[in-house]
């Protein structure tokens, strides 16, 4: 378990001056963070996103008394998205939201891999990369969904959409498109986004789930309790197929970053808040050893832990103890 800390000078050298914008649990001993150069609001207006330096930061739990830190610096990545492909060499995938949806595989037994593309010239606009039953899926705007069939090969999986959509996706309906995707198996996958746009994949084709709310949908989680949870702007939903129920509403409607299941709870991550649903109630505060801890940002989970990547710090939770594995660095 990640109960140790990196050396302070390593944190300063690797993390200072950057902001965490994503995270992945690769295995029980290695975590990865997507980080962008921390810039002023004036610079953010004047720069193109691809001009902002991107780092992939790795945290390794070894026999050392400290966690090990390292990074790879990447240039010319536009609004990058981090994912993992557990079937193909357990590779990390860094996607750039450029005109092609360029993907850089990292790791997996080779020092360098060729770049890949979701859809050359197709401007796919990927929101999330998710690994489902070993396959990596890309959830994109305009109802575009891609699966990584092999190293270097992405398939546009669009069978079943009605009216049929072409390789460039649905262009007429501005309220459709996908923000997230998750699944119980390769034949039981859900994609959600747009305004009430929810579809299910049975391994052969997609079908509309007839979601009952015209609300902005941000996240989806196929949980171990057998339910599909959907995070909307104004409410949290659960259900399956064509049956959905609203289980709570939000006092502060805003965009949700991530939904994950861990420790028999559903965790909801916003930029500056981390909430959890225990099956009956939505909890806004997290207490550890008698003190309230303030968490937020992006999350990932495995059978062993919940990982929380705030803008300038990181935490893990094993179901009993919270560990601030990267103390606040900016």
Does 8 reside within a domain? yes
Both 222 and 329 in one domain: the answer is no
Q: What does residue 24 show for φ and ψ, rounded to 5 degrees?
A: -145, 135
Both 130 and 150 in one domain: the answer is yes
Q: Is the dihedral angle over the CA atoms 241, 189, 155, 119 positive or is it negative?
A: positive
The C-alpha atoms of residue 324 and residue 288 are separated, in whole angstroms, by: 12
Both 199 and 129 in one domain: the answer is yes
- Beta-carbon contacts of residue 272 (< 8 Å; ≥ 6 apart): 296, 297
256, 285, 317 — which closes off a domain? 256
* Threshold 0.85, pTM exceeds: yes
Alpha carbon 47 to its chain centroid, in Å, reads 25
Does 313 reside within a domain? yes
Both 87 and 37 in one domain: the answer is no
Does 9 reside within a domain? yes
Does 231 reside within a domain? yes
Total domain count, the chain:
2
Q: From first to last of the 330 residues of the chain, give the pLDDT tens digit.
A: 688 999 999 999 999 999 999 999 999 999 999 999 999 887 778 889 999 999 999 999 988 899 999 999 999 999 999 999 999 888 999 999 999 999 999 998 888 899 999 999 999 999 999 999 999 999 999 999 999 999 999 999 999 997 778 888 988 888 999 999 999 999 999 999 999 999 999 999 999 999 999 999 999 999 999 999 999 999 999 999 999 999 999 999 999 999 999 999 999 999 999 999 999 999 999 999 899 999 999 999 999 999 999 999 999 999 999 999 999 998
Domain region containing 206: 80-256
Both 86 and 207 in one domain: the answer is yes
Q: Is the dihedral angle over the CA atoms 77, 30, 319, 63 positive or is it negative?
A: negative
Q: Which two tokens stand for residue 245?
A: 């129920």
For 19-42, the DSSP string reads EEEEEEEEETTEEEEEEEE---HH
Both 91 and 53 in one domain: the answer is no
Both 50 and 184 in one domain: the answer is no
The C-alpha atoms of residue 293 and residue 268 are separated, in whole angstroms, by: 15
Both 196 and 314 in one domain: the answer is no
Does 287 reside within a domain? no
Does 10 reside within a domain? yes
The C-alpha atoms of residue 121 and residue 115 are separated, in whole angstroms, by: 15
256, 286, 321 — which closes off a domain? 256
Both 52 and 13 in one domain: the answer is yes
């Amino acid at each position: 378990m990640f109960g140790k800390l990196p050396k302070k000078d390593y944190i300063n050298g690797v993390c200072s001056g950057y902001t965490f914008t994503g995270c992945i649990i690769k295995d029980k001993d290695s975590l990865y963070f997507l980080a962008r150069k921390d810039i002023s609001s004036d610079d953010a207006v004047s720069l193109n996103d691809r001009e902002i330096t991107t780092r992939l930061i790795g945290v390794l739990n070894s026999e050392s008394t400290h966690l090990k830190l390292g990074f790879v610096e990447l240039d010319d990545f536009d609004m990058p998205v981090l994912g993992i492909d557990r079937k193909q060499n357990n590779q990390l995938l860094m996607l750039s939201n450029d005109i092609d949806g360029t993907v850089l595989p990292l790791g997996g037994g080779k020092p360098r891999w060729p770049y890949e593309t979701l859809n050359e010239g197709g401007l796919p606009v990927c929101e999330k990369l998710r690994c489902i039953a070993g396959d990596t899926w890309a959830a994109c705007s305009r109802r575009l969904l891609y699966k990584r069939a092999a190293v270097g090969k992405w398939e546009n999986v669009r069978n079943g959409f009605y009216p049929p959509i072409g390789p460039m996706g649905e262009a007429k309906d501005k309220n459709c498109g996908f923000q997230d995707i998750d699944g119980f198996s390769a034949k039981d996958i859900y994609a959600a986004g747009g305004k009430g746009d929810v579809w299910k994949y049975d391994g052969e084709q997609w079908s509309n789930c007839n979601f009952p709310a015209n609300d902005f949908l941000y996240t989806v989680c196929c949980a171990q309790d057998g339910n599909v949870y959907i995070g909307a702007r104004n409410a949290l939903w659960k259900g399956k197929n064509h049956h959905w129920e609203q289980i709570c509403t939000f006092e502060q409607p805003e965009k949700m970053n991530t939904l994950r299941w861990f420790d028999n709870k559903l965790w909801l991550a916003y930029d500056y808040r981390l909430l959890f649903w225990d099956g009956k109630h939505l909890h806004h505060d997290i207490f550890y050893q008698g003190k309230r801890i303030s968490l937020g940002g992006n999350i990932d989970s495995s059978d062993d832990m919940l990982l929380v990547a705030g803008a300038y710090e990181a935490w893990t939770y094993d179901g009993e103890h919270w560990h601030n594995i990267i103390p606040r660095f900016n």
